[in-house]
Structure 1
Amino acid sequence: MATMRPVLVFVSLLFVVDPSGFTHGFVMAPRNLLGRLSESSSYLTTKEFWFDQTLDHYSPYDHRQFKQRYYEFLDYFQVPDGPIFLKICGESSCRGISNDYISVLAKKFGAAVVSLEHRYYGKSSPFKSHTTENLKYLSSKQALFDLAVFRQWYQESLNLKRNKPGADNSWFVFGISYSGALSAWFRLKFPHLTCGSLASSGVVLAVYNYTEFDKQVGESAGPECKAVLQEITELVDQSLESNGKELRKQFGATELEIDGDFLYFLADAAVVAFQYGNPDVLCTPLVEAEKAGENLVAAYAKYVKDYYVGTFGVSVETYNQKHLKNTTVSEYGSDRLWWFQVCTEVAYFQVAPSNDSIRSSKVDTKYHLDLCKNLFGEGIYPEVDVTNTYYGGTKIAGSKIVFTNGSQDPWRHASKQTSSPDMPSYIITCHNCGHGTDMRGCPQSPLRIEGNAQNCSSPDAVNKVRQKMIEHIDLWLSECKGTGRSYM
Structure 2
Amino acid sequence: MRLFSTNTVIWVLFLLVLSTFSYQNHAFVSSRIMLNRLSQSSNYLTDKELWFSQTLDHFSPFDHRRFQQRYYEFLDQFRLPDGPIFLKICGESSCNGIANDYISVLAKKFGAAVVSLEHRYYGKSSPFNSLKTENLRYLSSKQALYDLAVFRQYYQESLNLKLNRSNVENPWFVFGVSYSGALSAWFRLKFPHLTCGSLASSAVVLAVYNFTEFDQQVGDSAGAECKAALQETNQLVEQRLATEGKTVKTLFGAAELENDGDFFYFLADAAVMAFQYGNPDELCSPLVQAKKAGDNLVEAYAKYVKEYFLGGFGVGVQTYNQKHLKNTALTQDSGDRLWWFQVCTEVAYFQVAPLNDSVRSKKVDTSYHLDLCKNVFGEGIYPDVTATNIYYGGTKIAGSKIVFANGSQDPWRHASKQISSTDMPSYVISCHNCGHGTDMRGCPQAPLSLEGDAQKCSSPDAVHKVRQQITENIDLWLSQCQNLARNSL
* Residue of structure 1 equivalent to 2:179: 178
Residue 173 of structure 2: SS of its match in structure 1? strand
Shift of 1:333: 2.2
Give the Å deviation of 1:331.
Answer: 3.9
Report what 2:265 is aligned to. 264
Cα distance in structure 2, aligned partners of 1:49 and 1:118: 14
Match of 1:439 in 2: 440
Which residue identity is paired with 1:261? D
Instruction: Tell me the CA shift for residue 252 of structure 1.
Output: 1.1
One-letter code aligned to 1:143: A
Task: Name the residue aligned to 1:397.
Answer: 398
- Residue 261 of structure 1, CA deviation: 0.3
Determine the structure 2 residue equivalent to 1:481.
482
- The answer on 1:297 being equivalent to 2:298 is yes
Q: Is the 8 A contact 2:209 2:349 kept in 1?
A: yes
Cα distance in 2, alignment partners of residues 40 and 194 from structure 1: 31
Look up the SS of the partner of 2:329 in the other structure: coil
Aligned to 1:227: 228
Structure 1: how far apart are the matches of 2:138 and 2:88? 22
Quote the Cα distance in structure 1 between the aligned partners of 2:308 and 2:332: 25
- Aligned equivalents of 1:104, 1:218: Cα separation in 2: 34
Q: Give the corresponding residue for 1:388.
A: 389
Instruction: Count residues in correspondence.
Output: 462
Alpha-carbon distance between aligned partners in 2 of 1:19 and 1:383, rounded to the nearest angstrom: 30
Q: Which residue of 2 aligns with 1:82?
A: 83
Write out per-residue CA displacement over residues 447-473 of structure 1, whole angstroms, 9 at most, x where no aligned residue.
111111111000000000000000000
User: Aligned letter for 2:257?
Assistant: L
The answer for the alignment partner of 1:189 in structure 2 is: 190
Residue 486 of structure 1: how far off its partner (Å): 13
* Cα shift at 1:330: 2.1
Is residue 402–residue 423 contact of structure 1 (8 Å, CA) maintained in 2?
A: yes
Can you list the C-alpha shifts for 1:137-166, whole angstroms capped at 9, x where unaligned? Answer: 000000000000000000000000001110
Tell me whether 1:120 sits opposite 2:115 in the alignment.
no
The alpha carbon displacement at 1:237 in A equals 1.0
Listed as ranges, the gaps of 5+ residues in structure 2 are 4-29
TM-score of the pair, normalised by structure 2: 0.92
Contact 2:31 2:123 in 1 (8 A): no
Q: Which amino acid aligns with 2:50?
A: F
Q: Which amino acid aligns with 2:238?
A: D
The 5 A counterparts of 1:362-381 are 362-381=363-382
Rounded Cα–Cα distance in structure 1 between residues aligned with 2:238 and 2:478: 54
2-side partners of 1:449 and 1:92: how far apart? Answer: 15
Equivalent residue number for residue 14 of structure 2: none
Alpha-carbon deviations, 1:197-220, whole Å to 9, x = none?
Answer: 000000000000000000000000
Read off the aligned partner of 1:371 and give its amino acid letter: L
Residue 455 of structure 2 aligns to a residue in which SS? helix
Q: Is the 8 A contact 1:230 1:358 kept in 2?
A: yes
- Give the 3 Å change call, closer, same or farther, for CA 270–484 of structure 1 in structure 2: farther
CA distance in 2, matches of 1:232, 1:326: 32
For 1:14, the equivalent position in structure 2 comes to none
Q: Deviations over 1:26-66 (max 9, x none)?
A: xxxxxxx5xx2555431000000001000000000000000
Contact 2:274/2:282 (<8 A) preserved:
yes
Shift of 1:429: 0.1
Sequence identity percentage: 76
Q: What letter matches 2:403 in structure 1?
A: V
Say if 1:19 and 1:236 are closer, same or farther in 2 by CA, change over 3 A.
farther
- Aligned partner of 2:239 in structure 1 is 238
Deviation of the 1:21 alpha carbon: 4.1
> Any idea what the Cα deviations from partners look like across 1:51-85, whole Å, max 9, x if unmatched?
10000000000000000000000000001000000
**SS of residue paired to 2:71:** strand
- Contact 2:189–2:398 (Cα < 8 Å) also in 1: yes
Distance in 2 between the 1:417 and 1:80 partners? 37
After TM superposition, give the deviation of residue 242 of structure 1 in Å.
1.5
Matched, 1:59 2:60: yes
Could you tell which deviates more after superposition, 36-45 or 274-283? Answer: 36-45
Q: Which amino acid is the alignment partner of residue 387 of structure 2?
A: V
Amino acid at match of 2:268: A
Q: Do the aligned residues in 2 keep the contact of 1:255 with 1:320 (CA within 8 Å)?
A: yes
**Gap change, CA 1:77 and 1:165, over 3 Å in 2:** same
Query: Which residue matches 2:206?
Result: 205
> Is 322-331 or 204-213 further displaced after alignment?
322-331
Query: Aligned partners of 1:401 and 1:270: how far apart in 2?
Result: 31
The residue type equivalent to 2:274 in the other structure is A
Opposite residue 197 of structure 2, the aligned amino acid is: G
User: Partner of 1:470 in structure 2?
Assistant: 471
The letter of the residue matching 2:413 is R
Match of residue 9 from structure 1: none
Does 1 or 2 have the higher relative contact order (CA < 8 Å, sep 6+)? 1
Q: Separation in 2 of the partners of 1:76 and 1:485?
A: 23
Correspondence for 1:341? 342
User: Which residue number corresponds to residue 97 of structure 1?
Assistant: 98
Greater mean alpha carbon deviation, residues 330-339 or residues 413-422: 330-339
Shift of 1:421: 2.5
Seen in structure 2, the aligned counterparts of structure 1 residues 379 and 92 have a Cα distance that, compared at 3 Å, is same
* Gaps in structure 1 of 5+ consecutive residues: 4-17, 23-32
Residue 481 (structure 1) shift: 2.1
Match of 1:416 in 2: 417
Rounded Cα–Cα distance in structure 2 between residues aligned with 1:136 and 1:108: 41
Q: CA 1:402–1:266 in 2, change beyond 3 Å: closer, same or farther?
A: same
Distance in structure 1 (CA, Å) of the matches to 2:94 and 2:280? 27
Q: TM-score, normalised by structure 1?
A: 0.92
**Separation of aligned partners in 1, 2:250 and 2:467:** 45
* 2:39–2:449 Cα contact (<8 Å) kept: no
Query: Residue in 1 aligned with 2:152?
Result: 151
Bigger CA radius of gyration: 2
Contact 1:168–1:482 under 8 Å retained in 2: no
1:165 maps to what in 2?
A: 166
Q: How does 1:132-147 map to 2 (within 5 A)?
A: 132-147=133-148
Distance change >3 Å, CA 340–CA 169, structure 1 → 2 = same
Distance in 2 (CA, whole Å) between partners of 1:86 and 1:245 is: 48
SS in 2 for 1:87: strand
CA distance in structure 2 between the partners assigned to 1:190 and 1:402 by the alignment: 16
Preserved CA contact (<8 Å) 1:184 1:401: yes
Aligned amino acid, residue 392 of structure 2: Y
Q: Is the 8 A contact 2:202 2:436 kept in 1?
A: yes
Match of 1:276 in 2: 277
Distance 1:451 1:110 in 2: 19
Matched, 1:309 2:303: no
Cα distance in 2 for residues equivalent to 1:231 and 1:358: 9
Deviation string for 1:292-350 (max 9, x for gaps)? 11000000000000110011001111111111000111244200000000000000000
